[in-house]
Structure 1
């Protein structure tokens, strides 16, 4: 991978999504924002290009856990960063397989988020 990392972000809290997208774009990422997991899945199905997934866990229509499972059914190596105010019992509770996954607890600050995204994408 070269060039800016392309992030598909699923976050149902509009203000949080705006702040995170702006911070990530300032850090050199390209961000495609989806209002929830279903919208993110629809973007992916429509051919949106992205290198990694940034997702909340609790969202209407389709939660982050199911979004990860569905996207990784097509792309088993998809790197994922999960952000949540309600962490499960560790990242192993969120996925199977070997693809990288990081879990961050809300509130999220940009610097640790940037570091986590770069780490899962192998650009740390």
Structure 2
């Protein structure tokens, strides 16, 4: 039996964060939550181990999800990164090609399929 995919989900909208946490847990994933990029970065640099960082691009606070993803990619290149935004990808700052992007509102099926791909690759 493979170990559960460990995901850090970063989202400032409480309802969406709670919903997705339930979806990920129902899929058998080990879910950690953060309400902003700074908290997520502190979790990761203090030893929280994850396989996937799934973060909204724009959130309140001093660090955006895009900045978080670039820092994590540099420091922890083994972590898969998914960025979500209500803006289309071409409206965002340039992102490395290894970073996955999903446009809000995203479908649960779309996200589940992507995460299952990550889980298969990790198994």
Q: Same fold (TM over 0.5)?
A: yes
Structure 2 length as normaliser, TM-score?
A: 0.86
Q: Which runs of 5+ in 2 are unaligned?
A: none
2:3 alignment counterpart: 3
Q: Structure 1 residues 90, 78: CA separation in 2 closer, same or farther (over 3 Å shift)?
A: farther
Inter-partner Cα distance in structure 2 for 1:24 and 1:108: 15
Q: Which residue of 2 aligns with 1:86?
A: 87
Structure 1 runs of 4+ aligned residues shifted over 3 Å read: none
SS in structure 2 opposite 1:68? helix
Number of residue-to-residue matches in the alignment: 120
Measure the CA separation in 1 of the matches of 2:14 and 2:66: 20
Structure 1 length as normaliser, TM-score?
0.85
**For 1:22-75, what per-residue CA distance to the aligned partner results, in whole angstroms no more than 9, with x for missing partners?**
011111111100001111001101110111110100111211110011111211
Provide the aligned C-alpha RMSD in A: 2.3
Structure 1 unaligned spans of 5+: none
